[in-house]
Each structure stands twice: as structure tokens, then as C-alpha cells.
Structure 1
Amino acid sequence: MLTYPNIDPVLLSLGPVSVHWYGAMYLVGFVVGWWLGRVRAGRANSGWQVEQVDDLLFYIALGVVFGGRLGYTLFYGFDDFLRDPLSLLRIWQGGMSFHGGLIGVLVAMWLFGRRHGKGFFQSTDFIAPLIPVGLGAGRIGNFINGELWGAPGSVPWAMQVSCERFVALCTDKLQLPPGTLVTPPLHPNQLYEALLEGLVMFIVLWLFSAQPRPARAVSGLFLVCYGVFRFSIEFVRMPDVQLGYIAFGWLTMGQLLTLPMLLAGGVLIWLAYRKRTLSD
């Protein structure tokens, strides 16, 4: 059993300006993704110019931030938004939805393609191996923020968390008695997701896309990998207290939103290898 280190969520304070770890992790994801995109564009017969990656990053950033925040508000925190509309702007406090961010990025890729003459799946196949870097960095930001904890568990790496700092976790989610100092050992769900949705998925997609693949294949594999990892990890992740379980006493909102991704990914892979049209 381990103890959560209670990392200060503020990375750096400069007078009235505070730089939060959560925002810094997103910046790391964008910068590393931009660099990897330039590496992909520099490959022979990539069909991409290195300079296009700079513009591509701008579209992705807009899609992630606006889509992720709006998605979280609609899927997980609409009641909070109605009570406090300005909460939509407090991104540094956490609260970004992957599924909302994905929709935002898909819209951004459509707009990018119209401007640069790129097919929709040509763009999504190109960025799919880059996204896990941002996912992994974002989950590390969740860990530093002390949010999205897993359920109580007995694994050696389960962590006890301070109830003094994370009051809502103890009182709302775990419903511990008043005066409890620490939680029971919890699965570090954020690190599970950083490992699987970040590192493992990056390796799989980077290696898979290193060779020419049929159009839609890389995008489809991304959806399937994320869907499998996210659906599985949700079994040891506590549901959002305002939603609870959606159905069957175990289905979470994250799993419900992931099911269409699994279906869409399978269809894209089937179409890719049925038509066998190589991505540019």
C-alpha cells in the first residue's frame, strides 16, 4: 500500500499568475505531439509538408480545449454549469471529457481538410498516433490534481488519499464517516489510463502507422484501442458521484460513451481492408 504524495497542483506562481500542473501537462502533450507530427510529415511519401503540422496543431488545440470542456459540461457536469456558468471557463481546475475532445478534434480535422485540401480520414489517420501523447500527459495531470480515482483495491500499489485535502472524494464518493483522515487504498486509475491510453496505445499506433496502411485503418485502430482500454479501466474507476452507474449496477457514463467508439472503429477497419485504399 502506498500514500498519495499530495502534490501541489500549482507548478509555478508569478505574482497573481499561477501556472497549474494540469495546464502544463496539456502543453507538454501539444508540444510533443507537434514534434512527432513533424517527424511523421518528414517521412518519404508522407503526403504532408512539415509546415502544415504547425497549422494542424492549432486546429487540434482548439478542438481539444473547446470540445473537451463542452463535452465534460454536457456529459458530466451540466447541473454545476447551470448553478455556475463561469465554471465552463475554469479549465485549470480539471474537468475535460475525452469524448467531447474527440468530437471537437473531428470537427477541427474537417475544417482543416477544407482549408488544406486534405481528406477527412487522411487527416485523422495522420494525427491518430499523436493523440496518445496528450492523453497520457492529461492523465498525469489528473493524478497531480488528485481526481478520477479508482475504486478501493487491495493491489500493492493502491494509494491512500488525504481526506483533509480531498473532502469531496471522502464525503461524496466514498461516503466515509466525518473525521476520517485517509481513504482506504484506492486504485490509481489515472496512472492506469496514462499507461494504457498513453504509452501502450502510442507504441501500438506509432509502429502500425510506420508502414503504409489502407485509409481509415489507423483511425479505426485508434478507436478500438482506446475503446478497449477505457471500457476495461472503468471497472476499477469510481463513477462520477452526480451520475453514479448508468445501468446494470456497473455501466458508467464513460463506458456508455465508449461503446459507439468500439463499433465505429471496427467498421472503419473493416472498410479499410475491404477497399484497401492506401492513405496518402
Structure 2
Amino acid sequence: MQTMILANIPSPPQGVWHLGPLPIRAYALCIIVGILVALWLTQRRYTAMGGNSDTVWDAAIVIIPAGIIGGRIYHVATDYDKYFCADCNPVDALKITNGGLGIWGAVALGTIAVWVMFKVKGIPLGPFADAVAPGLVLAQGIGRLGNWFNQELYGAETTVPWALDIYYRVDEAGRNAPVSGVSTGEVIASVHPTFLYELIWNVLVCLFLLWAHQAWKLGHGRVFALYVAGYTLGRFFIENMRADEATMIFGFRINAIVSVVVFVIAVIVFLSLKKGQETPEEVDPKYQAKLAAEKETAAEGLESSSAGKNLHPYPKQ
């Protein structure tokens, strides 16, 4: 009897392609796809709740740049020794296309930016946060595919059937280039694909949020709080499986510590927020008032048209 053994997961042969002088980076493409999916899902959910679809696009203009800036700031702050050392070039801190975006900073600054926008518009933030949560965690999962192309954020060496093969990559001059180079076919190590673990976890959290929103009648920001709790729960365990270099505090990876702290805060917020779901009028009062006014105007126009027809009830002879 023969035993079937799954082959290891291969890494992509490269993560960067060039169209003349223009580099096309898989990492950036994955982030873009994730953003588009999140926008599509958020728009469907927010409009179904009674919100204005234009608000989603306005929020995207604010969230996307704020998220990228916040994510980069968090990454540089927690891995400052990679950018501010005797042999480092501080300018590298600005090179976001080379990877290195911390989700904590992205969510934090993105949330602050959109909160300000909603304050200015006079629209409640809670319903929008609930609408965006499933798409956000799904986008994070899609973004993890960028780490696969970059051969980064993996775990310790392993012999499990789904182990990830890490290739030796070189540039055109034959120098070692793990991110921007091309594979030589040589396997350096077979490791735990922690990027895949997080991707799967994020998809499961997305599906759970979609179900819980309706099954538990959640509203007032509780879906977003549940997203934060769900993501950080999985991130804690996956973070401790990673073997890449990380800033350590008291012997623990900083992202693992942040996961615990943020998880506790998210649970407290979830339990303290108002229960029940908002009505369409509570989701976006101004937009619903506008729709009601348009409907009333259309009804009055229909009545006037009908009254005009009634002036000549009989056809001319």
C-alpha cells in the first residue's frame, strides 16, 4: 500500500516584475486587490443598512492614505533598528513598496481619520464601522498573499505536508535578493506558512462577522469591536509561530503583546456598546431625510399629474 504525501507549498519564483524601468510588485498588487474587495463589500453592506454609497467612496479617500501612513509609522516605530542604526539609511523608512506595514497603525490612524470625516459630515460612525469590518479583515487576508510573494513572515522549519519552500533568490548580478530577486530553484528551508494560517483565519473571521451581524442583531459599532477581538485572537497564536526577526519586550514579540492588549480592549468595548441594530434613519439621518423628501416630491408630482388628467374626463367629440 502506498501512502500519498502532499507536496510542499512552493514560493513564487519572484515577487517583482519590470515593465521597462517600472517595477510591478506583487505585494502592492495584493494590497490593491484587497482594498477593492473591501470597498465592494462595504458599499453593499452600508447601503443595505440605509447609508449613502457616496459616503463609502468619501471614506475611502480618507482611509486609504491614512492607513498606509499609519501602517508604515507603526512598522518603523516597532522595527526602528532596521532604519536608524550606524549602517542604516533612514530614507529606507519611506520605502513602503519594499514591504513593512503594521496593521495596528493602519487601523488606528485610518479609524481616527474617518472619525474626523464623519464628525464633519454629522453622520454616526458606528454603522459604517460595522459595515466595513468584514471587508477589512478579508482585505488583510488578501494582503497576506503579498508576504508569500516576498517570502517573508513565515514560521520555523517543519516537515508537515503543507510546509512552505523558501527559495534562494538572486538579482541580475547574482547577488542575494530575497524580495526583488528571481529564484534559482534552490530550497533554503521548508517552513510553516504562517502567512497562509493568517489568511485562512481572516477569511473565517470575515464569514463569522457576516453571520453574527444578522444572527445576533449587532449594531452601534459592535461588529467592528468583534472584528478587532477576532483578529487579535488569531494573530496572537500565529505571531508566536513566526521565526522572523521582531522587536522583543520582556522576552515576547511586540505584536503578540499588542494583540493581547487590543483583544482585551475590544472585548470590553463590545460588551459596553449599545445593543441592537440601527434603523436606516439612525444610520444616516441626512441621507434618509433626503430620500424621504424626494419621495414626497415625486408623490406630489404624480398627484398633480393625475389631477390634470381628471380635468377632461371625457374624450373630445
TM-score by length of 2: 0.75
Pair 1:64 & 2:63 matched? no
- Per-residue displacement from partner, 1:105-146 (whole Å, max 9, x unpaired)? 121221221232223433322211110122012100011111
Deviation per CA, 1:131-190: give whole Å up to 9, x if none.
012201210001111111111223111123224559698xxxxxxxxxxx6434200111
Partner letter of residue 109 of structure 2? G
1:4 aligns with 2:7: no
Give the equivalent residue in structure 1 for 2:207. Answer: 203
Asked if the contact 2:11–2:167 (Cα under 8 Å) also holds between the matched residues in 1, the reply is: no
SS at match of 1:214: coil
Amino acid at match of 1:144: F
Q: Which is worse superposed, 67-76 or 112-121?
A: 112-121
Q: What residue identity is the alignment partner of 2:227?
A: F
Counterparts of 2:92 and 2:66, CA distance in 1: 19
Pairing 1:90-239 to 2, within 5 Å after superposition: 90-165=95-170, 182-197=187-202, 199-210=203-214, 212-239=217-244
- Provide closer, same or farther for how the CA distance between residues 210 and 112 of structure 1 changes in structure 2, counting only shifts above 3 A: farther
Instruction: Provide the identity percentage.
Output: 24
Q: Is the 8 A contact 2:169 2:177 kept in 1?
A: no
Letter matched to residue 133 of structure 1? L
Equivalent residue, structure 1, for 2:315? none
2-side partners of 1:201 and 1:78: how far apart? 33
Distance in 2, Cα, partners of 1:269 & 1:3:
38
Q: Letter of the 1:232 partner, please give it.
A: F
Structure 1 residues 233 and 103: CA distance shift in structure 2, 3 A = same
Residue in 1 that maps onto 2:43: 38
Check if 1:278 corresponds to 2:283.
no
Distance 1:160 1:167, change over 3 A: farther
> Do 1:67 and 1:103's aligned partners in 2 also have CA atoms closer than 8 Å?
yes
Distance 1:277 1:6 in 2: 46
User: Helix, strand or coil for the counterpart of 1:8?
Assistant: coil
Change (3 A) 1:167 1:259: farther
The correspondence of residues 250-261 of structure 1 with structure 2, limited to 5 A, is 251-261=252-262
User: 1:240 is matched with which residue: 240, 245, 250?
Assistant: 245
CA contact (8 A) 2:147 2:153 kept: yes
Task: Let me know the Cα RMSD of the aligned residues.
Answer: 2.3
Q: Compute the TM-score of the two structures, normalised by the length of structure 1.
A: 0.84
SS of the equivalent of 1:48 reads coil
Q: Is residue 76 from structure 1 mapped to residue 79 from structure 2 by the alignment? A: yes
1:51 paired with 2:54, answer yes
- In the alignment, the residues of structure 2 paired with residue 8 and residue 164 of structure 1 have an alpha-carbon distance, to the nearest angstrom, of 8
Q: CA deviation at 1:74?
A: 0.4
Consecutive unaligned residues of structure 1, counting only runs of 5 or more, are 170-180
Change (3 A) 1:100 1:85: same
How far apart, in 2, do the equivalents of 1:47 and 1:271 lie? 24
Contact 1:148 1:238 in 2 (8 A): yes
Aligned in 2, Cα 1:237/1:139: closer, same or farther, shift over 3 Å? same
Structure (1 or 2) with the larger CA radius of gyration? 2
In 2, Cα distance between equivalents of 1:189 and 1:22:
16
Q: Distance in 1 between matches of 2:213 and 2:163?
A: 35
Task: Report the equivalent of 1:177.
Answer: none
Equivalenced residues, count: 259
The one-character-per-residue Cα deviations of 1:11-50 (angstroms, maximum 9, x if unpaired) are: 4x3321122111111110111111112211231xx13111
